[in-house]
């Protein structure tokens, strides 16, 4: 027994064993207590010739940068699907096709959550640019389970050219980006979803834009309402829409408010009005948006939420009595559950959910091109 005791690692032998948070696992520090000042984290930050540009939330992007991403997404969609291309569009298409800018490069898809639209969008976008997408699911790698996020970030970013991260906690994607030497794109965390909101703006531009207008000109002044839960989509919307000149009204059940610091920050950027009922939010709105009430990992909350959200299902009757604008449309990032919106609205000619879903590809393509090619 003494022999076994002597070969076990001492508590201070491993100064860099960080938290493992997946699936309720204990942190490494539970087994190997360490002092927080036992190493200098500055020495572990990536050493690059210029700062690495990431996409973690649109709160980090200026309105001009957001509009540029949407313009490029629209350009990619045009050159891929339209037949009436301008000379400038033809040249852009030829350049991408001939240069294959991601040829020989690999994008790691580090997904801790299931995905349909995001995975297809990312893999097809990387292939479009000539690269290889490497899917790394939660069962494939040691992310946050038997290896710290810090270690994973340094190892994986040394072998690939970009990382798409779909994680549980936003702190995880922040940790990955902090130590990564390649761009990290957040394709969903518990508080943010930037690529979804870029797709929403592209969809709004396609629906409401007039010939010759820029994205900014087309969407500025539009009135958007949110009906439903206080979640990552809503947080990303209020972090981006107000500063882009898009007005927002929000209705969530009283038990599910927007965190006050987020709301105050959004109000400093533009118009965000929290109202008391779905009907008040819908009144005068051009775009009606909702999302699932029960996100992945929250299934245990379903019974209570169905009680708390009574009156929040979007129906044709609710919309008609609430008097939105004459040109109103309905948006939802999918997948749909019947408690959020009825089929009469979801499958109506006012619903643009499938156009919105397709636009995920073009906006992810835009983000990848901007961060891995242009940057």
Cβ atoms of 235 and 265 closer than 8 Å: no
- Greatest mean pLDDT range, 36-50, 107-121, 137-151: 107-121
pLDDT at 138: 79
CA distances from 69 to 75, 130, 201, 224, 257 (A): 10, 20, 10, 20, 30
For residue 314, the model assigns a pLDDT of 98
pLDDT of the residue at 113: 86
Distance CA 194, CA 315 (A): 28
Cβ atoms < 10 Å from Cβ of 375: 12
**CATH-assigned architecture of domain 194-295+306-359:** 3-Layer(aba) Sandwich (3.40)
Q: Is position 225 annotated as part of the catalytic site?
A: no
Residues 280-292, mean pLDDT to the nearest whole number: 97
Domain range summary for the chain, segments of one domain joined by +: 2-39, 53-190+360-374, 194-295+306-359
> Do the Cβ atoms of 189 and 36 come closer than 8 Å?
no
Q: How far apart are CA 103 and CA 39, in angstroms?
A: 38
How far CA 101 is from CA of 94, 181, 367, in Å, comes to: 12, 19, 14
DSSP tag of 166: E
pTM: 0.87
Q: Which residue has the higher pLDDT, 300 or 211?
A: 211
pLDDT of res. 33: 35
Catalytic entry in 55, 102, 237, 333: 333
Which of the listed CATH numbers 3.40.50.1370, 3.40.50.720, 3.20.20.20, 3.40.50.300 matches domain 53-190+360-374? Answer: 3.40.50.1370
pLDDT band at 238 (very low <50, low <70, confident <90, very high): very high
The secondary structure of 223-285 as a DSSP string is: EEEEES--SHHHHHHHHHTGGGT-EEEEE--TTSPPPHHHHHHHHHHS-EEE-SSHHHHHTT-
For residues 303 and 250, the model is more confident at: 250
Q: What is the pLDDT of residues 321-360, one digit of tens each?
A: 999 999 999 999 999 999 999 999 999 999 999 999 999 9
By the 10 Å C-beta count (0-12 exposed, 13-18 middle, 19+ buried), 210 is classed as exposed
Asked if residue 369 has pLDDT above 60, the reply is yes
Selected residue with higher pLDDT from 48 and 117: 117
3-19 pLDDT per residue, tens? 444 444 444 443 443 33
Distance CA 263, CA 362 (A): 29
Give 174-224 pLDDT, tens digit per residue: 999 999 999 999 999 999 999 999 999 999 999 999 999 999 999 999 999
53-190+360-374 and 194-295+306-359 share one fold: yes
- DSSP letter at 9 equals P
């Amino acid at each position: 027994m003494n022999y076994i005791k002597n070969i076990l690692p001492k508590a201070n032998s491993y100064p860099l064993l960080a938290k493992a948070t997946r699936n309720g696992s204990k942190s490494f520090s539970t087994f190997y207590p360490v002092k927080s000042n036992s190493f200098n984290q500055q020495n572990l930050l990536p050493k690059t010739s210029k700062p690495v540009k990431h996409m973690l939330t649109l709160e980090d992007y200026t309105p001009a940068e957001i509009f540029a991403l949407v313009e490029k997404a629209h350009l990619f969609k045009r050159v891929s699907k339209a037949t009436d291309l301008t000379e400038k569009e033809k040249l852009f298409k030829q350049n991408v096709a001939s240069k294959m800018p991601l040829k020989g490069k690999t994008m790691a898809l580090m997904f801790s959550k299931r995905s349909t639209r995001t995975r297809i969008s990312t893999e097809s976008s990387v292939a479009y640019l000539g690269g290889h997408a490497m899917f790394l699911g939660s069962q494939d790698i040691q992310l946050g389970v038997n290896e710290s996020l810090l270690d994973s970030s340094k190892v994986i970013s040394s072998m690939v050219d970009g990382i798409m991260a779909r994680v549980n906690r936003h702190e995880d994607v922040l940790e990955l980006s902090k130590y990564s030497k390649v761009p990290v794109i957040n394709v969903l965390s518990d508080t943010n979803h930037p690529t979804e909101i870029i797709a929403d703006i592209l969809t709004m531009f396609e629906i409401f834009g007039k010939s010759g207008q820029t994205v900014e000109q087309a969407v500025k002044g539009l009135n958007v309402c949110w009906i439903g839960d206080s979640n990552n989509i809503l947080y990303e919307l209020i972090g981006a829409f107000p500063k882009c000149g898009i007005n927002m009204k929000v209705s969530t059940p009283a038990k599910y408010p927007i965190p006050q610091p987020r709301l105050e920050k959004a109000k400093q950027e533009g118009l965000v009005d929290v109202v008391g009922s779905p009907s008040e939010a819908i009144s005068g709105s051009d775009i009606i948006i909702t999302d699932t009430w029960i996100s992945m990992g929250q299934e245990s909350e379903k019974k209570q939420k169905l009680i708390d959200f009574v009156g929040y299902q979007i129906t044709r009757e609710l919309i008609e009595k609430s008097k939105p604008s004459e040109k109103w449309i309905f948006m939802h990032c999918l997948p749909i559950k019947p408690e959020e919106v009825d089929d009469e609205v979801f499958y109506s000619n006012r619903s643009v959910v499938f156009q919105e879903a397709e636009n995920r590809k073009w906006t992810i393509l835009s983000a990848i091109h901007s961060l891995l090619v242009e940057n």
